[in-house]
Amino acid sequence: MKIRIVLVALVAMMIAFGATAQEKLISNTSNIVSPAINPDHTVTFKVHAPKASRVILTGDFLPKHKILTSLGEMESSVDMIENRDGVWEYTTAPLESELYTYRLIANGQQIYDPSNVYQLRDIATYSNYFIVGDGKADVYKVQEVPHGTIAKVWYPSNHLDLKMRRMTVYTPAGYENGKGKYPVLYLLHGAGGDENAWTELGRAAQILDNLIAQGKVEPMIVVMPNGNGAQEAAPGEYPNSMYKPSFSNPVCMDGSIEKAFPDVMSYVEKHYRTINDKAHRAICGLSMGGFHSLYISANNPSLFGYVGLFSAAINRRVKEGANIDVYQNLEEKLAKQFKDAPKLYWIGIGNSDFLYKDNCNYRQLLDQKGYKYTYVETDGGHIWRNWRIYLTEFSQKLFK
pLDDT of residue 114 exceeding 60: yes
Residues 346-360 have a mean pLDDT of 96
Residues 354-372 have a mean pLDDT of 97
Grade residue 235 by pLDDT with cuts at 50, 70 and 90: confident
Grade residue 239 by pLDDT with cuts at 50, 70 and 90: confident
List the one residue out of 310, 99, 98, 71 whose CA is nearest residue 186.
310
Phi, psi of 336 (to 5 degrees): -70, -40
Residues 47-58 have a mean pLDDT of 95
DSSP track, 189-253: --TT--TTHHHHTS-HHHHHHHHHHTTSS---EEEEE---TT-SSSTTSSTT--S---SS-SSSS
List the one residue out of 10, 373, 7, 381 whose CA is nearest residue 190.
381
Grade residue 180 by pLDDT with cuts at 50, 70 and 90: very high
pLDDT at 252: 75
List the one residue out of 164, 208, 202 whose CA is nearest residue 185.
208
Contact 127, 148 (CB under 8 A): no
* 175: three-class secondary structure by DSSP: coil
Q: Give dist(CA 99, CA 120) in Å, integer.
A: 11
* 42: three-class secondary structure by DSSP: coil
Residues 310-315 have a mean pLDDT of 93
Residues 325-340 have a mean pLDDT of 95
pLDDT of residue 344 exceeding 60: yes
Contact 289, 227 (CB under 8 A): yes
CATH superfamily of 140-395: Alpha/Beta hydrolase fold, catalytic domain (3.40.50.1820)
Task: Specify the DSSP class assigned to residue 332.
Answer: H
Q: Give dist(CA 220, CA 108) in Å, integer.
A: 47
pLDDT at 384: 96
pLDDT of residue 12 exceeding 90: no
* pLDDT tens sequence across 120-141: 998 878 899 999 999 999 999 9
pLDDT of residue 305 exceeding 80: yes
**223 forms bridges with which residues in the sheet?**
169, 186
Residues 3-9 have a mean pLDDT of 35
Instruction: In the chain, list all ranges with CATH 2.60.40.10.
Output: 2-134
Instruction: In the chain, list all ranges with CATH 3.40.50.1820.
Output: 140-395
Residues 378-393 have a mean pLDDT of 96
CATH 1.10.1510.10 fits 2-134, yes or no: no
Element at 56 (helix H, strand E): strand 55-59
pLDDT of residue 6 exceeding 50: no
Q: Give dist(CA 171, CA 220) in Å, integer.
A: 7
pLDDT of residue 229 exceeding 80: yes
The lowest-confidence range among 20-34, 94-108, 114-128, 147-161 is: 20-34
Q: Give dist(CA 199, CA 266) in Å, integer.
A: 22
Grade residue 17 by pLDDT with cuts at 50, 70 and 90: very low
Residues 329-348 have a mean pLDDT of 97
Percent of the chain residues topping a pLDDT of 70: 85
Residues 57-90, buried b or exposed e (16+ Cβ, 10 A)? bbbbbbeeeeeeeeebbbbebbebebeeeebbbb
pTM of the predicted protein model: 0.88
Q: Give dist(CA 41, CA 241) in Å, integer.
A: 41
pLDDT at 65: 53
Q: Give dist(CA 347, CA 310) in Å, integer.
A: 6
pLDDT of residue 14 exceeding 80: no
pLDDT at 26: 60
pLDDT at 240: 74
DSSP track, 109-164: EEE--TT---EEEETTEEEEEEEE-SSGGGGGS--SS---EEEEEEEEEGGGTEEE
Q: What is the mean pLDDT of the chain?
A: 88
Grade residue 5 by pLDDT with cuts at 50, 70 and 90: very low
pLDDT of residue 244 exceeding 90: no
pLDDT of residue 369 exceeding 60: yes
